[in-house]
Amino acid sequence: MLTNVQLESILDELLFSSSFKDYAPNGLQVEGKREIRRLAGAVTASLDVIKKAQEFNADALLVHHGYFWKGESPLIKGMKKKRLQLLLNQDINLYAYHLPLDCSISFGNNAKLGEVFDFCVKETVSVDGINNLLWFGTWPQSSEPNDLLLHIEKCLDRKPQHIIPPSNKAIKTIAWCSGAAQDYIENAAYLGADAFISGEISERTFYQANENDIHFFSCGHHATERFGIQSLCDYLVNEYQLEYQFFDSKNPV
């Protein structure tokens, strides 16, 4: 058993969250009951996930995508009202960690994505002052672009969108960053990667891949960010003997 305040400081320390300037507050975003025995994990604190956490009798919900993003309306209306109302009615603590969970060497989305893909990590690079956000490595099994495409599809159980540059060059070095990091394709190309893997894609990504001569694989924002939260929850469950369940969502984006 942990208190909600203890869990927050444990998470803050594990993820070095005070060293990040983020687009949303990291930590305990919505305060609930004091004692935590049952933990729910999810990528996003959607209404559906909160309902499942409620059925599970969760004391805490730990997510990558929480609330109160920079630039969003501060008003409690519509979907935000429904989500907060359910959380507060059930007295469920909501913890959210955004950039700290992307960048963590031990538990992060990018670290775990590299493991899922069986990549050899060569280095991690900072972007816009955020350390360990862009990851570099190799996939020793093949440098054939189509082999990598099939491999990604198998690992994520989701067909990625592959933008092939005119040269269709062999892939010897790979960079990756989960989520909506498609614009880091420029950084990846600048640093010499043959391919860049991220979650989302924009219209401009097609030109960025072509003109920088780099392969691009859009693998899904949700699909690429399922692993960090699970590894963090697995650690907490073992360390503090919590009851735990992960709630995935069928988000195709």
Residues that bind Zn ion (CB under 5 A): 179
Least distance (Å) between residue 243 CB and Zn ion = 26
Least distance (Å) between residue 177 CB and Zn ion = 10
Kindly tell me which of 52 and 98 has the beta carbon lying closer to Zn ion: 98
Q: How many CA within 13 A on the CB side of residue 216?
A: 30
Least distance (Å) between residue 146 CB and Zn ion = 28
Q: What is the DSSP string of 166-204?
A: TT------EEE--SS-GGGHHHHHHTT-SEEEES---TT
Q: Looking up tokens 């894609």, which residue turns up?
A: 201
Kindly tell me which of 27 and 66 has the beta carbon lying closer to Zn ion: 66
Which residues is 65 bridged to in the sheet?
Answer: 44
Least distance (Å) between residue 117 CB and Zn ion = 18
CB-based contacts of 173, cutoff 8 Å, min separation 6: 122, 136, 137, 138, 192, 193, 194, 195
Q: Looking up tokens 């909600």, which residue turns up?
A: 4
Kindly tell me which of 36 and 111 has the beta carbon lying closer to Zn ion: 111
> CA-CA distance, 43 to 230, in Å (whole number)?
9
Kindly tell me which of 41 and 179 has the beta carbon lying closer to Zn ion: 179
Nearest residue to the partner Zn ion, using Cβ:
179
Least distance (Å) between residue 91 CB and Zn ion = 27
Kindly tell me which of 100 and 179 has the beta carbon lying closer to Zn ion: 179
